[in-house]
Structure 1
Amino acid sequence: MKLLLTSGGVTNDSIREALIGMLGKPIADSDALFIPTAQWGQPACSPQTVWRSTAARDDDDRLVGLGWKSVGVLELTALPSLAEERWKPWVRAADVLLVDGGEARYLWTWMRQSGLAAMLPELADTVWVGVSAGSMVMTPRVGTEFLDWQPDGPDDTLGLVDFSIFPHLDYPGWSQNTLEAARRWAERIPGRAYAIDDQTAIAVVDGRVEVISEGHWEQFDR
């Protein structure tokens, strides 16, 4: 699987070009599935925010509204009630999975319970575009600062990459997302970590990691 791990989506030309390179064809020729599941675990989200992101009302051309050949919705909480032979072909047919933000541990839980997590190794050519929690779920740890669904629970996630992500760096009005806060967070995260703003993405292809940015990011190594 090819990973494009973003904070705010496809927000600039550099990230867009990276996405097209991963797809190997134009966005207009690519089929997408949108996964909104992480929003249900985030107290700041609601049915209204899920609708707005699904309908591309807030992100315009940053995720769902990029101009895909087709976009479908894959709600992970529904998959355990369906036969695998029904939903797995939908995933295999998609060129890209668009995984929205929200709460990473909640998303992790439903990726495992739905069977999607176990399916990932067979999706070698599929592109995963994560936004915030949709990116963090691929890392080993998210840090206790980002536990909103079960604040006293563990903070481990899938660990498909060997680094952690602090998203929305210096986001306007978010005092908890300053660089100073990111540095405190990184002190409790073992291994490599990145703080990235909404103009930054981390691309992972065949184990090669590349930071793509028209904004601000910082790497931490422990």
Structure 2
Amino acid sequence: MKFLLTSAGIKNDSIRNALVDLLGKPIAESSALCIPTAGYGHPMGSPGGAWRFITGQSSTPMCELGWKSLGVLELTALPSIGEERWVPWVREADVLLVNGGDALYLCHWMRQSGLADLLPELPETVWVGLSAGSMVMAPRIGEDFVGWKSPTGSDSTLGFVDFAIFPHLDHPSLPENSLADAEKWAAEVGVPAYAIDDQTAIVVRDGAVEVVSEGHWKRFTP
């Protein structure tokens, strides 16, 4: 699997170009599934937020980019319909667009649904994460970002990449997301980490990591 891990979606031309490069073809020729699940686990999540994400009416561009086709993959539904139905949907998609919200809730349902187990079998599929949709790929998120409580009591996530992500760096509506806060968070997570603002994304392909940015970011080493 190839990863485009964003703080706030496809916010600028640099991130869009990185997406097209990962797809290997134009967006207009690519099929997408969007995953709204994480939004339901966040205390500020709502049905309206999920609707805005799916219909491309949020401030975090993902679904409105002009895809050849777009469908909704709700992870909480998958255990009740059987893998023989939903696995082909995922295998046929070029890209998975994963909404923000609560990373631990998303992690839980990725495991419960079986999607987490399927991802290693999809080397050409692109995972585009938005905030929690990016953080879930890290080994852990750090206690600062724990909202929904995992049954394990841990802040561990999927570990598909070997670094943690602090999104929305210096966002004007999030005073707790300053660089000083990110430095304290990074010291606690104990793994390599990136603090990224909403104009920044991280590309991971074949184990290589590249930061794409028209904003600002910082890398931390434990």
User: Normalising by structure 1, what TM-score?
Assistant: 0.97
Partner of 2:69: 70
Partner of 2:155: 155
Deviation at residue 83 of structure 1 after TM alignment: 1.5
Amino acid in structure 1 at the alignment position of 2:95: V
Provide Cα deviations, 1:27-52, integer angstroms capped at 9, x if missing partner.
00000000000001101111111111
CA distance in 2, matches of 1:31, 1:207: 24
Q: Does the residue aligned with 1:188 lie in a helix, a strand or coil?
A: helix
What 5-or-longer segments of structure 1 have no aligned partner? none
Partner of 1:107: 106
Deviation at residue 132 of structure 1 after TM alignment: 0.4
Pairing 1:97–2:131 present: no
Deviation at residue 150 of structure 1 after TM alignment: 1.5
Q: Does the residue aligned with 2:34 lie in a helix, a strand or coil?
A: strand
Partner of 1:185: 185
Q: Does the residue aligned with 2:173 lie in a helix, a strand or coil?
A: coil
Partner of 1:130: 129
Pairing 1:211–2:211 present: yes
Provide Cα deviations, 1:33-90, integer angstroms capped at 9, x if missing partner.
0000000110111111111111111137x10001100110000000000121111000
CA distance in 1, matches of 2:83, 2:53: 26
Q: Does the residue aligned with 1:111 lie in a helix, a strand or coil?
A: helix
Deviation at residue 173 of structure 1 after TM alignment: 2.1
Extract structure 1 runs of 4+ deviating beyond 6 A: none
What 5-or-longer segments of structure 2 have no aligned partner? none
RMSD in angstroms over aligned alpha carbons?
1.1
User: Normalising by structure 2, what TM-score?
Assistant: 0.97
CA distance in 2, matches of 1:73, 1:59: 19
